[in-house]
Amino acid sequence: MSQDSPILIAGTSRECELAFEKIVPSLSQLKKVTVFFENYNFLITNYDVLSNGVHMILEFLDGQQVQIEGTNCGYSGTGPNTTVRVLEMVGLSRSITEPLIFYNDAIRFDVDKNNEILYSTIDTSDLFYPQIRETGKTKDLNRIRKDSNYDIDLVNKKVTVYNPHRNSWKGFVALTSYMKIYEMEYYIGENSPLEGYYKFNLGKEGLIYEIRQNYIGIKHVNLILKGNHFNIVCLINRKEEIEIINTLHLSLTGTALPWIKKYHITNSAKRSFGLLFEVLKDFFKNQPDEIHERIDITEQNEETARLRKYGR
C-alpha cells in the first residue's frame, strides 16, 4: 500500500466501518488519532483533508494516513460508536477509548509501539465549537460557534465568512493565526471587484430572523486573506467595513491603515460642521470614493516584529 497518498474511506458509518475493516491487515502500527465533532477544526491542523465529510484521521508508523467519514465524537451516537469500533480494529481497547471519544468534541493523541495511548499527548482543544453546546445566552468569545456566519470548504481550503464580528472577533483573529497569512486585499466602495465582482444575494425568504441578522448589510466581498494553509473571503456589512478592515490590519501588523486618520478627521468634520461641511467639503476632501489595496502581510509582520524587538 502506498505511503505517499492518504486513503479516503467515504460513506455512511456502517459503510466506512466495513471498508476500514478490509484494509486493516495492510496497515502498520497506529501512531496518531485525530477526531473532531466539528470537522472545520481540521483547519487548525496540518492535514490536507480529502473530503468535507471527514471527521477522523489516523496516522500509522510507516507514514500511511487514513481519513474516514461516518465517524465522530462528543456524544454516544452512531458516529462516535463507529469511531470506537474502528480504533478497536487497530488495537485500542474500547474501555479506554470510549470515554475519550464520547465526552470530548475534539480529541487528539499519540499511540506508542505497545498500542498504548500516550496520555501526555492528549489534546482536546478546538477553535470551532457546536452551537448545541450553548445554553441560554452564553457564548464563548475566544472560539468560533459553527453557524451561518461561516461556510468552509476543507478540500479547497477556502473559508467564507459573513460578518465575522457577529460571531466571535477573537475567534476570527485566532483563525488567521493558523493560515500563515501572506497577503491581505480589501475594497471599500460601492462596486467590489473581489471574487470576480461577486454580488451577495440572500434570496432565502424562509430564513429565521437570527440567521438573516448574520447577513445584515452585506453587499459584496470586502476582504480577502491569503495564506499558505488556507484562504479567507469576508463579506462585511458596508456600514462597518472600515472599522473591521482597519482593526484586522492592526491585529495582523501592529499598525493602522495609513489613510484611517484622514478618514476619521473627515467624518469628525461632518459631525461638527453639519451643513457647513458641504460648503467646506473641498477643504476636507482627502478620502477617495473607493479604496482597493493589496498588502504584503509577510513584510508587514517582519517589520512589526523588528520594531517591537527594538522597542520602537
pLDDT in tens, 267-290: 554 445 555 545 555 554 555 578
Q: Which among 290, 291, 286, 248 has a CA at the least distance from the CA of 268?
A: 286
The whole-angstrom separation of Cα 159 and Cα 231 is 6
The whole-angstrom separation of Cα 24 and Cα 28 is 8
Q: Which among 157, 295, 286, 167 has a CA at the least distance from the CA of 231?
A: 157
Report residue 4 as a C-alpha cell: 505517499
Question: What letter would DSSP give residue 240?
Answer: T
Segment 96-136, tens digit of pLDDT: 999 999 999 999 999 999 999 999 999 999 999 998 888 76
The whole-angstrom separation of Cα 16 and Cα 161 is 31
Kindly list the distances between the CA atom of residue 70 and the CA atoms of 1, 26, 28, 43, in Å, as whole numbers in the listed order: 23, 21, 22, 19
Contacts of 305 (CB under 8 A, 6+ apart): none
Q: What is the per-residue pLDDT for 276?
A: 52
Q: How many CB atoms lie within 10 A of CB 132?
A: 11
Contact 31, 60 (CB under 8 A): yes
The whole-angstrom separation of Cα 182 and Cα 229 is 10
What is the β-pairing status of strands 158-162 and 231-235?
Answer: parallel
Kindly list the distances between the CA atom of residue 53 and the CA atoms of 67, 75, 216, in Å, as whole numbers in the listed order: 10, 18, 29
Contact 222, 188 (CB under 8 A): yes
Q: What is the per-residue pLDDT for 264?
A: 53
- Answer yes or no: pTM beyond 0.75: yes
CA angle 35, 25, 23 (to 5 degrees): 55
- The helix (run of H) or strand (run of E) holding residue 224 is strand 223-227
Residue appearing with cell numbers 469576508: 234
Contact 224, 195 (CB under 8 A): yes
Q: What is the per-residue pLDDT for 214?
A: 85
Q: Which residues of the chain have pLDDT under 50?
A: 1-2, 265-266, 269-271, 277, 284, 305-312
Query: First CA to last CA across the chain, in angstroms?
Result: 56
Q: What is the per-residue pLDDT for 290?
A: 87
Burial class (CB in 10 A: 0-12, 13-18, 19+), 186: buried
Q: What is the per-residue pLDDT for 272?
A: 52
